[in-house]
Amino acid sequence: MKSRISKEIKRISKLDSYVRPSKIEDAFKLDSNENFALDFEFINAIAADAVKKTDIREYPLEQLDRLYLELARYTGVNEKFIGIGSGSDQIIELLLSTLGKDCRATVFTPTFSYFINRCELHGIKVDEIPLDKNFELDLKPFLKSAEKSDIVYLCSPNNPTGNQIDKKTISKVIESLKDKLILVDEAYSDFADYSLSDSATKRDNVIVLRTLSKAFGLAGARVGYMITNEKLADLFRTTIQSPYPVSTLSLTIAAGVLEKSDFVKNTINEIKNERKRMFGRLASVNGIKAFKSDANFIFMETGRKYNALLKALDAADIVVKALGKMNGRNGCMRVTIGTKEMNEKFLNCVEEAAS
Ligand SMILES: Cc1ncc(COP(=O)(O)O)c(C=O)c1O
Vertex 90 angle, CA 172 and 83, to 5°:
65
Q: Is the pLDDT of residue 26 over 90?
A: no
Does residue 120 form part of some domain? yes
Q: Is the pLDDT of residue 341 over 90?
A: yes
> 214 vs 87, 188, 211, 250, CA distance in Å?
11, 7, 7, 15
Separation of CA 81 and ligand 1 centre (Å): 20
Residue 112 Cβ < 6 Å to ligand 1 = yes
Does residue 311 form part of some domain? yes
Does residue 47 form part of some domain? no
Q: Could you tell me how many residues make up the chain?
A: 355
Last residue within a domain, chosen from 198, 226, 260: 260
Q: Which atom of ligand 1 is nearest to the CA of 88?
A: 10
Residue 213 Cβ < 6 Å to ligand 1 = yes
Q: Is the pLDDT of residue 23 over 90?
A: no
Residue 1 is predicted with a pLDDT of: 61
Closest of 298, 290, 277 to residue 160, by C-alpha = 298
For residues 315-342, average pLDDT: 97
**Whether residue 271 sits in one domain with residue 252:** no
Residue 35 Cβ < 6 Å to ligand 1 = no
**Whether residue 82 sits in one domain with residue 9:** no
Q: Give the mutation target among 111, 117, 159 for probing the ligand 1 site: most ligand atoms within 8 A of CB.
A: 159
Separation of CA 319 and ligand 1 centre (Å): 18
Instruction: Classify residue 277 by burial, with Cβ atoms within 10 Å: 0-12, 13-18, 19+.
Output: middle
Whether pTM > 0.85 for this model: the answer is: yes
Question: Residues 221, 212: contact at Cβ < 8 Å?
Answer: yes
Q: What CATH number corresponds to the domain at position 91?
A: 3.40.640.10
**Whether residue 110 sits in one domain with residue 28:** no
Dihedrals φ, ψ of 118, to 5°?
A: -70, -35
Does residue 168 form part of some domain? yes
**Whether residue 184 sits in one domain with residue 327:** no
Domain total of the chain: 2
Measured distance CA(116)–CA(98) in Å, rounded: 16
Residue 295 Cβ < 6 Å to ligand 1 = no
pLDDT tier at 339 (50, 70, 90 boundaries)?
very high
pLDDT digits (tens, 9 = 90+) for 310-328: 999 999 999 999 999 999 9
**Whether residue 117 sits in one domain with residue 228:** yes
Q: Which atom of ligand 1 is nearest to the CA of 33?
A: 14
Q: Which atom of ligand 1 is nearest to the CA of 219?
A: 9
Does residue 124 form part of some domain? yes
Does residue 45 form part of some domain? no
Does residue 44 form part of some domain? no
% residues pLDDT > 90 (the chain): 95
pLDDT digits (tens, 9 = 90+) for 144-179: 999 999 999 999 999 999 999 999 999 999 999 999
The torsion region of residue 162 among left (phi > 0), alpha (psi -120 to 50) and beta comes to left
Residue 28 Cβ < 6 Å to ligand 1 = no
pLDDT tier at 16 (50, 70, 90 boundaries)?
confident
Separation of CA 24 and ligand 1 centre (Å): 21
Separation of CA 284 and ligand 1 centre (Å): 31
> 318 vs 122, 162, 346, CA distance in Å?
36, 20, 7
- Write b or e for each residue in 147-174: b if 16 or more Cβ atoms lie within 10 A of its Cβ, otherwise e: eebbbbbbbbbbbbbbbbbeeeebeebb
Last residue within a domain, chosen from 260, 293, 320: 260
Does residue 96 form part of some domain? yes
In terms of residue numbers, what domain contains 75? 53-260
**Whether residue 197 sits in one domain with residue 135:** yes
Q: What CATH number corresponds to the domain at position 307?
A: 3.90.1150.10
Which residue's CA is the closest to the ligand 1 atom numbered 15?
187
